[in-house]
Chains A and B, each alone.
Chain A
Amino acid sequence: MQLRDLALPLMGLGILLTIAKSENITHDTPPPGPVHIAYWEKWTGFEGDAMQAVVNAFNKKQNKIYVDLLTVSGIENKTLLAVAGGDPPDVAGLFGPNMAQYADDNAIMRLDDFCRQKGISESDYIPVYWDMGVYQGHLYALPSTPASTALHYNKQMFRDAGLDPEKPPQTIEEMDAMAAKITKLDAQDRFVTAGFLPAEPGWWNWGWGEVFGGRFWDGESKITADDPGNIRAMEWVQSYSKKYGAAKLQSFRSGFGNFSSPQNAFLSSKVAMELQGVWMYNFIDQYAPNLEKPVLNWAAVPFPHPADRPDLANHTFTDEDILVIPRGAKHPNEAFEFIAYVQSQEGMELLCMGQKKHSPLTHVSPEFYAKHPNPYIKLFADLAKSKNAQSPPKIAIWPEYKDELSNAFDAIALLHKTPQEALNDVQERMQPKMDEHIERGNKRKAMEGTRP
């Protein structure tokens, strides 16, 4: 027999051995010692480092459980597929708005009993952050880091326009008037700077309705896209397009650099007032050191409310990153041990300080605020406690509904549709989707009910 004849079988054997070995590596038999739990998280950079510090602290604190933190991009899709494939991580760090979809599909475990055992309860949290993990009466997720929004404004631009930088707008009407004063056009009638733009930064294009008292659904089964508050908000959005011209606004905005760069519209002093989240401080710190002297050059204040609706003061968009235990996780009890540590004041403050956010807990140590680099951190925590703190609607079809609202915003801002028309279109499209979702859910329940 010649060596050549052996080549193919040998190669085959080699491949088989490699596969066997890699299986061996990935499916290690548990060594004696701590239980390893797999934790997938989306963060990179300093945000990832902050969570790694919490994981390290937990691993050091006890010797029964060892958390393996793995950074995963596109985490909501990969967790989904891992659950479907029956091999999910023990803990997954998803985005808050994923919860309803996952809970609706029974893809994540209920945490009610775990919390009871560990003595974690609603009263420990700022209500809006606890509530974001609740779906149809059960708790499915606990927060990792929270976020709320406020109006950020550039004091220097206020001064340049002859406005008092210590008197930020209280009402929408005041803000519009100040914006008009700050806005500068060049000889060819093109924007040089703008006071405020409803389409900037574009993350809450769907959400302005809430600022004007609008609601997106009735909390049960009815979509309310054409709620009067939503229409009023979109009329306000359109007033900017009517005043300055949709095309002009568009070409001004297309000149803005990436959000995460010094060419960011707010950081490069092109837009004076912007709705932004608690994270904005990090970007100011990193990309715009000239804005950094906070007492001097920028400030954050509650977003203005319509003058005739003082009851809508202190509106804020809240959101949070969440920790969940996927269905099919191998070590749910150990997973919750870790989640519970993150929920402790010690773990939470370590994490939120590292990420420079506020804590979602009601009890916060005085040192946390004293040491926090963001001078407005208390404002963000206080806004989250406001009765007008809003979080994304917990409907399973929300991702689709939100896309539809964003699309309506485009049509309104481009003056292609009136607010009434655009929102009616959303209503007409989404209500049947909602009905269908409920109907199919019932169908499924009926079918699953008949099974043994």
Chain B
Amino acid sequence: MKSRQRESLTALLFVSPWIIGFSVFLLYPLLAALYYSFCEYSVLRPPVWVGMDNYRDLIHDSVFRTTLWNTGMFSALALPMGMFVAISLALMLNAKIKGMTLYRTFFYVPSLVPGASLAMLGLWVFNGEHGVLNHILDPILNAVPNLLNFLFHTHLHHIEPPQWLSNPLWSKPALIVLGVWGAGNSMVIYLAGLQDVPQALYEAAELDGAGWWAKTRHVTLPMLSPVILFNLIMGIIGTLQVFTLPFIMFPAGTPERSTYFYTMYLYDNAFVYLKMGYACAMGWIMFLIIMALTFIALRLSEKRVHYSGG
């Protein structure tokens, strides 16, 4: 018994750097934020307890609702898109051909680009007048009506490529497309998962006459499901907290707050409007939303995720 106690003490000692780090840098701020969310707190003066005031104000805050909607929309579009791209890339890069490590590196490298550089790059690519993207789109958008006019004697006009950065309708899609640059990270995790799929299952499926799609659908995806779930949850957390790209590309969420995301409003409240209590309340609401979504994702996946070990 005594030796067991010694043992657990030693174990605790060994994990103590983590425990201390977690308590000081995560647990304490988390709890402090909870306390401040019930306070009027500007950082500069001691907090004053105001009860539920911040939460009540948030319910009536139209900008809060706008940012919540923007963030939800972004997440709902960017997450499936990102996962689709990452899984597709992983499937393609799992093929056995020469020079594969090189291809894998090529597709992974973009995700190493820091967010701030990516944002600056995005500003050039998506610029409505001089952007690379519109230079490519312009001749295509020009050719389509011309072709139709020629073939069917219609009188269609030239279609202008979108003003990605200044039109509220197109600013979010621009961000979503740009976000795909970071797909490399989850792609690597999918690739690792793919390597773990037992070869025997494919052989068995082939004996049963399964083609490429049947194998993907009935062997690869089920075996990959734990990794997909992991990436889904990390994706929910990541996309709901999108900050760097829009913060740099769209100061103050212009045009018309179409790119004003939750974390940007939180940041403005905390450091520009000096409403730290309000910002803390927003932080906790986001925490609860992410907890709830993670819980739902876990519950819904129970029957669909196959763990090969158990």
With A250-B167, A254-B127, A410-B256 as known contacts, state yes or no: A77 contacts B271, CB within 8 Å: yes
The answer to whether A399 touches B48 (Cβ under 8 A) is no
Count of A-B residue pairs with CB < 8 Å = 77
The answer to whether A106 touches B129 (Cβ under 8 A) is no
The answer to whether B255 touches A436 (Cβ under 8 A) is no
**Which among B42, B63, B256 is the interface contact of A105 at CB below 8 angstroms?**
B42
Chain A residues with CB under 8 Å of B165's CB are 254
The answer to whether A255 touches B130 (Cβ under 8 A) is yes
Chain B residues with CB under 8 Å of A250's CB are 128, 163, 166-167
B282 to chain A, nearest CB (A): 14
The answer to whether B44 touches A399 (Cβ under 8 A) is no
Chain A residues with CB under 8 Å of B44's CB are 80, 83-84, 102, 105-107
A451 to chain B, nearest CB (A): 10
Chain A residues with CB under 8 Å of B166's CB are 250-251, 253-254
Interface size on A, residues (CB 8 A): 35
Q: How far is the CA of A416 from the CA of B40 in the complex (A)?
A: 35
The answer to whether A443 touches B62 (Cβ under 8 A) is no
B-contacting residues, A249-277, CB 8 Å: 250-255
A-contacting residues, B3-50, CB 8 Å: 40, 42-45, 48, 50
The answer to whether B272 touches A399 (Cβ under 8 A) is yes
**Which among A105, A255, A400, A414 is the interface contact of B255 at CB below 8 angstroms?**
A414
Chain B residues with CB under 8 Å of A84's CB are 43-44
Closest residue to A248 on the B side, CB-wise?
A: B160
Does A444 sit within 8 A of B, measured CB to CB? yes
The answer to whether B254 touches A410 (Cβ under 8 A) is yes
A135 to chain B, nearest CB (A): 14
B186-219: contact bitstring with A at CB < 8 Å (1 yes, 0 no)? 0000000000000000000000000000000000
A7 to chain B, nearest CB (A): 16
Chain B residues with CB under 8 Å of A444's CB are 40, 45, 48
B262 to chain A, nearest CB (A): 16
Does B68 sit within 8 A of A, measured CB to CB? no
Interface size on B, residues (CB 8 A): 31
Closest residue to B164 on the A side, CB-wise?
A: A254
Chain A residues with CB under 8 Å of B168's CB are 414
Does A364 sit within 8 A of B, measured CB to CB? no
Closest residue to B253 on the A side, CB-wise?
A: A407
The answer to whether B129 touches A255 (Cβ under 8 A) is yes
With A251-B129, A414-B256 as known contacts, state yes or no: A443 contacts B48, CB within 8 Å: yes
Chain B residues with CB under 8 Å of A411's CB are 256
Does B257 sit within 8 A of A, measured CB to CB? yes
With A397-B273, A443-B50 as known contacts, state yes or no: A254 contacts B40, CB within 8 Å: no
Does A297 sit within 8 A of B, measured CB to CB? no
Does A19 sit within 8 A of B, measured CB to CB? no
A366-408: contact bitstring with B at CB < 8 Å (1 yes, 0 no)? 0000000000000000000000000000001101100100110
B-contacting residues, A172-200, CB 8 Å: 188
Closest residue to B127 on the A side, CB-wise?
A: A254
With A253-B166, A414-B256 as known contacts, state yes or no: A80 contacts B128, CB within 8 Å: no
Q: How far is the CA of A101 from the CA of B276 in the complex (A)?
A: 14
A-contacting residues, B125-176, CB 8 Å: 127-130, 158, 160, 163, 165-168
Chain A residues with CB under 8 Å of B50's CB are 440, 443
The answer to whether B272 touches A81 (Cβ under 8 A) is no
Closest residue to B57 on the A side, CB-wise?
A: A436
A20 to chain B, nearest CB (A): 20
Interface centre among A254, A406, A411, A443 (most CB of B within 10 A): A254
Does A247 sit within 8 A of B, measured CB to CB? yes
Does A447 sit within 8 A of B, measured CB to CB? yes
Does A429 sit within 8 A of B, measured CB to CB? yes
Closest residue to B49 on the A side, CB-wise?
A: A447
Chain B residues with CB under 8 Å of A254's CB are 127-129, 163, 165-166
Chain B residues with CB under 8 Å of A429's CB are 62-63
New A-B contacts (10) at CB < 8 Å, excluding given A407-B256, A429-B63:
A254-B163, A255-B130, A399-B273, A406-B252, A407-B252, A429-B62, A440-B50, A443-B40, A443-B48, A447-B48
Closest 8 CB pairs of A and B: A255-B129, A254-B128, A105-B44, A107-B44, A84-B43, A410-B256, A250-B166, A400-B273
Question: Could you jot down 18 A-B contacts, CB within 8 Å?
Answer: A77-B271, A84-B43, A105-B44, A106-B45, A247-B163, A250-B163, A251-B128, A251-B160, A254-B127, A255-B127, A255-B130, A397-B273, A400-B273, A410-B255, A410-B256, A411-B256, A429-B62, A447-B48
